[in-house]
Amino acid sequence: MTKYFSTAETAKMIRKALAESFPGIKFSVRSKTYSGGSSINVSWTDGPTAKMVDAIAGTFSGAYFDGMQDYKGSTYAMIDGETVKFGADFIFTAREHSDVLRAQVVAAYTRKYGVDPDANMHHYDVQREFNHMLHTRSAYLAPRASKTAGKVIYLGNDGYSQNGALSVD
């Protein structure tokens, strides 16, 4: 028998897992339910990179989307020996950047290249490098282990693959 978590229950688990992984960072975790399913939006300022947060929050995703087939399929997991299905089909993350972080990246860019990126931001290469530095700068090398996320074991999806054949998980 599969235990189903509502979108709100899934959001609560994500909030707890993120607090365990990144103490001191304030996350906004908002759930949204609509006719075609549901999603959770996670946002925060500075702190961990989006890639780090995606690794934790993505553990609780209840679906996947195959754009080639325009198909939304289900994913399943296990917690404490029980099969579970998370309520949120999709989890979206968005990291905001404070003026302090932007100033730190401007200073780092200027030290590295000897030019102020703001004065040269019209060049594509400057924009690309500056954005890369901005999005990868973090005080965290890696997230702390989360007991909540650590309990989740991914079991697989509904067996549908990109070419329409059943996949073997």
Every domain of the chain and the residues it spans: 3-157
Contact 43, 93 (CB under 8 A): yes
Mean pLDDT (the chain) is 90
Lowest-pLDDT choice from 3-17, 81-95, 150-164: 150-164
Directed axis angle between helix 124-136 and helix 99-113, to 10°? Answer: 120
Q: Among residues 96, 80, 77, which one has the least CA distance to residue 88?
A: 77
pTM of the predicted structure, to 2 decimals = 0.85
Lowest-pLDDT choice from 21-25, 49-53, 65-69, 93-97: 65-69
Across the range 104-114, mean pLDDT stands at 90
C-alpha distances in angstroms, 155 versus 59, 69, 75, 83? Answer: 11, 22, 8, 8
Can you tell me whether residue 63 is helix, strand or coil? Answer: strand
**Bridge partners of 32?**
39
Q: Per-residue pLDDT tens for 119-167?
A: 776 777 888 888 999 999 998 888 999 999 999 999 988 887 554 444 4
Per-residue pLDDT at 4 exceeds 70: yes
Per-residue pLDDT at 33 exceeds 90: yes
Directed axis angle between helix 50-57 and helix 7-21, to 10°? Answer: 130
Per-residue pLDDT at 168 exceeds 50: no
